[in-house]
């Protein structure tokens, strides 16, 4: 597979900045995908109380994991005359499974049991009409390109074994939603504007800010309120992309059922703002990427109180408080040490990454939880024997405030991304 195919895949699986017609393909079916397999060893306690009593769990044994974080199948079709479609089906952690069993030890009752954890998600399902290079209309279910990770979430677009931790902690990842998108390219500028369903404030929480607010536990997505997302990219400087993106919407009263009988909270809007800047530099042998994201939720104290005291215990809502704000920033750089060889075509990147994130920045009258304040470093290698495959290895460490234990780990993974047809 040549470099042109890889470039097309990146565009279609993220913002879709080139329609099938514009990229030179004839009408017909395109099949592709990406995926990762990971082995990790964590040299810290996995006890749920390790932050409330750090000293007690300081010397706990390490623990290891095998994982398939993402396995994605991409299907696209160019109907001709500017009409295209795309689907993206993702299996996270090898999917989910259940079974019905007859329990002979419990009077022969039939029981439904969860056989394994995981998730199967339809991340993209849309139809598009391309009118001009600068005017394309997309309707359906698509990726919301807010932040660096959501814009480029495939595993060959970051050096770390797992997705960068800051954005994947505080933002939906991969953020996908249903609505209408308008996007286009003019010269060195590209843009996208989206009208989508709003976030659900009752799914916000302390450890992940708004991350789960885009999800729905129902067979439908509640859309009592709507949200607006936008992104602008500029490539005027050779090898450099500079981008800004953001989101705004009301998140309160966007749950099911929409019951406003308690008039005390009628005017609570839960306005949610997200702003992000990210960049990517790709030279002959050097790659540098970075991001900075900030989010704010109005009425965080009221939302936290309602969630904790006024929702049913068996409701599918997060009970921990949501902070008024959250922040993350980070950067990574990798250098291909084989790039000067005339005989070796493999690429071997030595990389380092630093990131900071805090998923819970409380209002003045909220309790603080200092363990959500994290600095993380990672260093390792990416070996790419061919452009579509990367073998990754890294050492990483999380640093919280001094009262908590550090969290070092070692991870090894292999990832691919490419078209099959």
CA distance 251 to 202: 8
Looking at residue 223, the DSSP 8-state letter turns out to be -
Rounded Cα gap, residues 165 and 409, in angstroms: 14
SS3 assignment, position 410: strand
- Per-residue model confidence (pLDDT) at position 61: 95
Give the domains, in start order, of the chain with CATH numbers: 40-67+128-416 (2.40.160)
Instruction: Give the global pTM.
Output: 0.88
Q: CA torsion sign, 39 to 40 to 41 to 47?
A: negative
Is residue 12 within a helix (H) or strand (E), and if so which, with residue range?
A: helix 3-13
CA distance 118 to 268: 35
What are the DSSP calls for 140-153, one per residue? Answer: EEEE---SHHHHS-
Q: CB–CB of 335/371 below 8 Å?
A: no
Per-residue pLDDT tens digits of the chain, which is 421 residues long: 444 444 434 444 444 433 333 334 456 999 999 999 999 999 999 999 999 999 999 999 999 999 999 999 999 999 999 999 999 999 999 888 777 665 655 556 767 777 778 889 999 999 999 999 999 999 999 999 999 999 999 999 999 999 999 999 999 999 999 999 999 999 999 999 999 999 999 999 999 999 999 988 888 889 999 999 999 999 999 999 999 999 999 999 998 877 655 677 888 999 999 999 999 999 999 999 999 999 999 999 999 998 888 777 777 888 899 999 999 999 999 999 999 988 899 999 999 999 999 999 999 989 999 999 999 999 999 999 999 999 999 999 999 988 999 999 999 999 999 988 7
In the prediction, which pLDDT does 265 show?
A: 82
**What are the Cα distances from residue 50, in Å, to 44, 99, 304, 398, 403?**
9, 33, 24, 14, 11
The CA distance from 129 to 310, in Å, is: 45
CA contacts within 13 A on the Cβ side of 211: 20
Cβ–Cβ < 8 Å for 378, 352 = yes
> Among 244, 194, 232, which residue's Cα sits nearest to residue 214?
194
Alpha-carbon distance of 61 to 341, in angstroms, equals: 44
Alpha helices in 32-156 (DSSP H): 148-151
In this structure, the chain runs to a length of 421
């Amino acid at each position: 597979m040549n470099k042109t195919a890889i470039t097309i895949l990146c565009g279609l699986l993220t913002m879709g900045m080139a329609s099938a017609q514009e990229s030179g393909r004839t009408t017909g079916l395109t099949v592709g995908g990406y995926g990762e397999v990971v082995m990790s060893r964590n040299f810290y306690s996995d006890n749920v109380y390790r932050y409330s009593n750090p000293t007690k769990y300081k010397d706990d044994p390490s623990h290891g994991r095998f994982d398939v974080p993402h396995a994605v199948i991409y299907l696209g079709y160019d109907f001709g005359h500017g009409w295209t479609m795309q689907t993206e089906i993702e299996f996270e952690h090898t999917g989910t499974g259940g079974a019905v069993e007859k329990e002979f030890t419990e009077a022969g009752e039939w029981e439904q049991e969860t056989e394994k954890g995981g998730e199967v998600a339809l991340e993209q399902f849309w139809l598009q009409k391309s009118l001009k290079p600068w005017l394309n209309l997309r309707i359906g279910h698509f990726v919301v390109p807010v932040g660096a990770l959501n814009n480029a979430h495939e595993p060959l677009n970051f050096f770390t074994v797992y997705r960068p931790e800051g954005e994947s902690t505080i933002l939906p990842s991969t953020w996908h939603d249903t609505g209408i998108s308008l996007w286009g390219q003019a010269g060195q500028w590209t843009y996208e504007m989206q009208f989508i369903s709003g976030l659900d404030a009752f799914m916000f929480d302390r450890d992940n800010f708004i991350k789960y607010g885009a999800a729905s536990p129902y067979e439908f997505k509640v859309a009592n309120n709507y949200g607006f997302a936008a992104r602008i990219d500029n490539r005027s400087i050779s090898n450099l992309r500079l981008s800004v993106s953001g989101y705004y919407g009301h998140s309160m009263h966007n749950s099911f059922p929409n019951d406003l009988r308690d008039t005390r909270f009628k005017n609570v809007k839960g306005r949610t703002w997200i702003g992000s800047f990210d960049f990517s530099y790709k030279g002959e042998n050097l790659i540098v990427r970075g991001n900075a994201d900030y989010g704010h939720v109005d009425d965080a104290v009221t939302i936290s109180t309602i969630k904790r005291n006024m929702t049913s215990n068996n409701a599918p809502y997060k009970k921990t408080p949501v902070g008024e704000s959250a922040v993350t920033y980070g950067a990574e750089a990798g250098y291909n040490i084989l790039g000067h060889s005339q005989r070796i075509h493999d690429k071997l990147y030595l990389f380092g990454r630093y990131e900071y994130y805090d998923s819970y920045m409380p209002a003045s009258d909220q309790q603080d939880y200092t363990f959500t304040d994290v600095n993380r470093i990672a260093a390792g290698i990416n070996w790419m024997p061919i452009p579509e495959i990367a073998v990754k290895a890294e050492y990483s460490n999380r640093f919280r405030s001094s009262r908590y234990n550090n969290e070092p780990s070692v991870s090894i993974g292999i990832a691919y991304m490419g078209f099959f047809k």
